[in-house]
Amino acid sequence: MLLAQNRHWRVTRGKGSKEIVIGLEKEELPEDWRDFRDFRLEIPVDRWNRIVKHVRTDRKLFGGVVLEFVNQEDQLPIVLGQDRLYGDLQRVVQDATSTLVESGTLALAVVDIGAE
């Protein structure tokens, strides 16, 4: 099931799947970014709130949060270092979150910022 999509990223969730997959749109990548075409994040639904909480923070902090969910760790700093990719990633995560909330899969709750 497609949750959100933009020029560089696609967020999907399989039927009955307990995981959300964020992957790069292979066809839309410029030639010099083709090495990243297999890059993806596989995030359990119950950990999605953590991603949303940090998506608009510092890149390094966000990178540390998603490190455990990435399939190719060596590419993470390079992908997050690309301004266009990172900006589109922030937007697609927010769009996917809206879809998850609207579908009832995710509930909004007050979060203590100092909790992590």
Do residues 48 and 17 touch, judged by C-beta distance below 8 A? no
Do residues 89 and 83 touch, judged by C-beta distance below 8 A? no
Confidence of residue 68 (pLDDT cuts 50, 70, 90): very high
Check pLDDT > 80 for residue 114.
no
Check pLDDT > 60 for residue 20.
yes
Q: What angle do CA 104, 19, 4 make, to 5 degrees?
A: 65
Cα(22)–Cα(72) distance, integer angstroms:
13
Q: Domain ranges in the chain?
A: 2-115
pTM, 2 dp: 0.86
Check pLDDT > 90 for residue 99.
yes
Q: What angle do CA 92, 33, 100 make, to 5 degrees?
A: 15
Q: What mean pLDDT do residues 1-23 have?
A: 90
